[in-house]
Amino acid sequence: MAAVSCSLLQNEDPIPSSARVVPGEYRLGPADLLSIVVWKQPELSVGQIPVRPDGKISLPLVGELKVAGLTAVEIKEAITERIKEYVTEPNVTVIVLQVNYPLAFVIGEVNRPGPVPIRQDTTMLQLMSLVGGFGPFADKSHIHLLRREGGKEIRMRFNYGQVA
């Protein structure tokens, strides 16, 4: 048996599952690193700011802003809207400096158990490939996927033989 636990290293997943399935658009997650520049406003610009485990960042005049699950463009729009009353025609740039992908923890009869960085659209087959496949005694019909969603742990079964 192999068990896979997909976790963002916190108690609750700040990114709704519906936000994770949009291919081609990167949505921010905890520990990602951003640069935020407000043109001609150095006191409002931040060279490097990490997304906290709760999915938020804190900025001057903006305060706390939940960014987990948003794209860089959506963050730019939210910041622009919040600083409009302080800055005339604000020009905000949001750059994703570093992506810290969520981790899946793979245990059981696989060749390389342990934490594996995964992208938002990683499939179970791709994950099994990333850990080097199954060990010689793996029961490929009884794979369990455990994940947290909405504060609850969800357990799903996966039968490798039905998809490979």
DSSP single-letter state for residue 121:
T
Q: Look at the pTM and tell me if it is higher than 0.95.
A: no
pLDDT, residue 13, reads 45
The secondary structure of 31-96 as a DSSP string is: T-EEEEEETT-GGG-EEEEEPPTTSEEEETTTEEEE-TT--HHHHHHHHHHHHTTTSSS--EEEEE
Domains of the chain as residue ranges with CATH: 2-13+101-163 (no CATH), 27-98 (3.30.1950.10)
How far is Cα 32 from Cα 64, in angstroms, rounded to an integer?
A: 16
List per-residue pLDDT tens for the chain, 164 residues long: 555 544 433 334 444 444 444 455 889 989 999 999 999 999 999 999 999 999 999 999 999 999 999 999 999 999 999 999 999 999 999 999 998 878 889 999 999 999 998 876 788 899 999 999 999 999 999 999 888 888 899 999 989 988 87
How far is Cα 36 from Cα 38, in angstroms, rounded to an integer?
A: 7
pLDDT, residue 5, reads 47
Q: Which pair of structure tokens corresponds to residue 3?
A: 């068990």
Picking from 131, 146, 39, 138, the residue whose alpha carbon sits closest to that of residue 89 is 39
Residue 122: count other Cβ atoms within 10 Å of its Cβ: 18
* Residues comprising the chain, all counted: 164
From the centroid of its chain, how far is CA 142?
27
Picking from 102, 81, 92, the residue whose alpha carbon sits closest to that of residue 26 is 102
